[in-house]
Structures are given as C-alpha cells and as structure tokens.
Structure 1
C-alpha cells in the first residue's frame, strides 16, 4: 500500500508541474505579442513599391549582330564562310557554319548556290571545305610540286595550299632547295627549283674573267653583238634614230602644271597674317 500511495502522490506532483509550466509559457507569450495599432479609415495607404524597369535581354546585342549578318549582301556572307573554311581547313555542315558565322545557308538560296559554285569551296553534298588550286599537305609535297615546274611557279598559286606554306617556302630557300625571285614585270614572286645535279663550283679565275667583260653601253652596239651571236634584237635603234632625224620628231615636253591662284575662297592656314593676303582676287 505504501508503494501505491507514493506512486499516486508522484503522479499528482507531475501534473501540478505540467500545469505550472503551461501557465508560465502562456503568460510569456502574451507579454511578447506585438500590439497592432488600429489604422484610421481615411489614412493614406503605404506607397506601392515601384516596379522594376524592364531590362532587355543580355542576348540582344548578339541577336542584332546575327540580324545584321543575315541582312548583309551575299558577297559579304560568302567572305565570312570562306574565311572560316580557310583558317580552320575543316569540313563544315550548313548548321555548323551557322553556329560559327551566323550565316544561315539553308535559309538563303543565293548564298548556298554561290558557295556551291565557288572555286575556293569544295562541296560533297553535305559538308563545305576550302579548296586550293594545289592540294598539298606539307613541305615535302611543296618541294615536289616546285621541282615539277622547272620554268618557275608563281607563289600566288600555292600561298593558300595550307596555312604554313609561306614559312615553308622561306625554309626551302634558306636550305638552298629553291630560288625565290621577284618578277619585275608582274610584281609577283616566282619560286624556282634549285636542281642539286647542276650544283658546280666555279673557280675564282673564271669569275674574274666573267666580271671583267665590259658590255657595250649604246643600244646600237648591243644590237650588233646580239646579231653576231645569232640572236634577233627586239629593237632597231638605227632605224628609229634615222626616222627621228628625217621627220624631226622631238621628245614630248611635259606639260607645265598650272599654278593655282589664291582667292578669297581658298582656305588659308595663316589667316592671322592678313597683310599677306591684301592682293587676293575677289
């Protein structure tokens, strides 16, 4: 019986503690609860937060760039595509070209037809690639091509064969494999093969003998020397001079350049000296 009484008293004590804790928590909640002020009916409402200004997409500039390219002339779009093919030397589909240059080949028939028929473009039915006149892949193939042109090969014909072709030409020249000369008439560089079979050593005496030969200075004497050696000169100086004496042909004098007069309409750079321009014509 003593055990049951003790247990019942313990339960009653626990219940009193729980009720005390609940009352304490309720009193604390009532003291911390914020007080709401009654707002008058006619009181102005709080101003609404201004709406954020509408911003254009960060992609607007790119879209404008794409639009300007696609509205540009056909020639300008072709140039962009050929530059891509030339620099990369890779084959691209129409979709890949659009991603790289924004030139929409599929949507522009004029661009598509021009690319397909361009001499610098190879089209296999699906991909576009750069096409040079000579299909070369390196310095060895370049040297073989030059050796096939004993009369000389224009550099312009091979300068787009592959990206480093001009550097390889200079390397071949430095190694003595080719001669790189400029044509004075066409102002173009010509590359000639340096045949190793004709490499000979010339004695210094022979060089001095060659350099010691004095060439004629008058064109009449030059023409006579050419005829002695069985060569027909392209000019006839004797006949030309005789005709000039008979007809009295005089060399044309250069027309004198008319000196420009200074008038009041002339833009002057030293207008701060008016005494220099008192004689100007009106």
Structure 2
C-alpha cells in the first residue's frame, strides 16, 4: 500500500472516532444525573417520646399562672402600678392583656379595685386617681397658691410622673418655698400677700416660752420632742478641750425688774400708764 493510501485510511479512522465521541457526549447530556442513596437514619426526624410535650411559651404561661394564684393584694398592686405608670384608662380585658390579672375571673380583685381610693371606675374602665387633679407645672403652681397654709409634698408625688422635677423647678425659680419639718416636706406659695392666721393660744405659748441659754439644754429639749439638733455642743466642747481652748458655760442671767423712780429719765411720756407707780410714790411723799 502506498503512502497516500495509508494517509487516507488514517483520516477515515479519525473521522469515525470523532463521530463516536460526539454521540457518547450527547447521550450523557440527555440522561438524568445519578444520585447516591441517603441512609434512612438521616432523612427521618427523631420522634419525641410519648407524653413529653413542651411549649415554646412555657415561661410566660408559668408567669401568668403564678400571678393569678397570688394573693388579692398582690394582684391589686400590680393593677395600680399599671394605671400609675401609664396614666391611661383600661377595661378589665385590657388589664388582663397588660399585666395578666384576670379581673373577670376573680371577683374579689374586681370588687376591691372598685373601692380602691387610688382607682377610678366609670362603669367600664379603670384609671389612676391621684390625690390632687393636676397634670402640669402651671396647674401645680396654681394649686399651691390656693393653699397658703402649705400643702404636703407627699400628697403631690402621685399627681403626674414628673411632678417632683416641677416642684424643684418652681423652687429654683422662687415661685414656691419647700420647707421641711421633722416628718415631711411642705410646699408654700412665695407670696407675702397670703394671710396666714395664727391662733392666739399659739402666740401666747411662743411668747411665754423661755429658751435655755445653754445650747446643750436646747439640744436636750429638741431630742425630748423627737427633733434632731443641727449642732452637737458636747462634741464641740470636747474637741475644744482637747485642743486647750477654754470654753466657759454660759451663766443664766436673771433680769432685774426695773422700777420707775424719781431719778428715772422720762423719755416715754406718751405712755402714761408706765408712770402710775411713780405718781403714786410722789403723792405719798
């Protein structure tokens, strides 16, 4: 066979091989991909044991159950706190949704809320009832000016959420006075036009009371009446003694009653009743 014949035969074999490869590739593309079998242990989800059912809301249900089994007083406080913090009106259904107190199912809670002095019930809704019906600083100032004898701060604390900040602001602007006694703070209007009536017996008691001249005696009297003294004279004297500073106790001085005589210089002639004794003495002489 000549060289040309061999070359033609080789070319025909190449064409045949190429067609075979093309047919194999087309047949593989049309066939679906092979999948490996997955073990049944992986595909099947484990089943929980019988009788073991858990809820995703278990903690919430436990909380609701504990609230509804709590004493009546605890449930009332929970409702009052809700009304105080929100200052909104709630139906029993809304109260149940907000704080889990079922007032429809618990008649004792419902009846107690209707009689509670801190709650107002209009027949349908409950709302918070403050001691004084004021809602802002201007109304607060007006209320204080209507009470020239003073109004207790403890009665104003629940008026509205930021009432204490408004009281301090009114004090800083000198619109009111905030004074303290041994038990509570009192708010007074800063208005000298206000007439404060003082009982005559109180005036007489004030005039007839003799204050001790020694501060230690003053402090003892304050302690007897349940008041705390602002000074500590005993400690101050002890510290002075340790430092060698002499501190003499004040001596009580008795006032000598001054009588009017002939030698008394008369400078208050417009008060003749002061000189009756002098005139009587002169007439006897």
The two structures have a TM-score, normalised by structure 2, of 0.53
Distance 1:180 1:230 in 2: 23
Distance 1:168 1:32 in 2: 80
Decide whether aligned partners of structure 1 residues 181 and 230 sit closer, same or farther in structure 2, where only a CA change above 3 A counts: closer
The answer to whether structure 1 residue 151 and structure 2 residue 149 are counterparts is yes
Distance 1:155 1:235 in 2: 31
Distance 2:140 2:117 in 1: 21
Distance 2:122 2:110 in 1: 13
Of 174, 177, 195 in structure 1, the residue corresponding to residue 175 of structure 2 is: 177
Question: What is the 5 A alignment of 1:235-254?
Answer: none
Structure 2: which 5+ runs fail to align?
Answer: 1-23, 35-39, 195-202, 213-285
Number of residue equivalences: 174
CA-CA distance at 1:56 after TM superposition: 0.9
Decide whether aligned partners of structure 1 residues 234 and 133 sit closer, same or farther in structure 2, where only a CA change above 3 A counts: farther
CA-CA distance at 1:172 after TM superposition: 0.3
Distance 1:33 1:181 in 2: 91
Distance 1:71 1:230 in 2: 58
Distance 2:98 2:142 in 1: 36
Of 116, 126, 129 in structure 1, the residue corresponding to residue 127 of structure 2 is: 129
The answer to whether structure 1 residue 188 and structure 2 residue 164 are counterparts is no
Decide whether aligned partners of structure 1 residues 131 and 47 sit closer, same or farther in structure 2, where only a CA change above 3 A counts: closer
Question: What is the 5 A alignment of 1:22-171?
Answer: 51-53=46-48, 54=52, 56-171=54-169
Distance 2:190 2:62 in 1: 55
Decide whether aligned partners of structure 1 residues 32 and 92 sit closer, same or farther in structure 2, where only a CA change above 3 A counts: closer
Decide whether aligned partners of structure 1 residues 161 and 61 sit closer, same or farther in structure 2, where only a CA change above 3 A counts: same
Distance 1:151 1:122 in 2: 29
Decide whether aligned partners of structure 1 residues 181 and 56 sit closer, same or farther in structure 2, where only a CA change above 3 A counts: same
Distance 2:33 2:58 in 1: 52
The answer to whether structure 1 residue 233 and structure 2 residue 212 are counterparts is no
CA-CA distance at 1:101 after TM superposition: 0.3
Distance 1:196 1:175 in 2: 16
Distance 1:123 1:230 in 2: 48
Deviation readout 1:110-135 (Å, 9 max, x if unpaired): 00000000000000000000001110
Match of 1:16 in 2: none
Deviation readout 1:236-282 (Å, 9 max, x if unpaired): 9xxxxxxxxxxxxxxxxxxxxxxxxxxxxxxxxxxxxxxxxxxxxxx
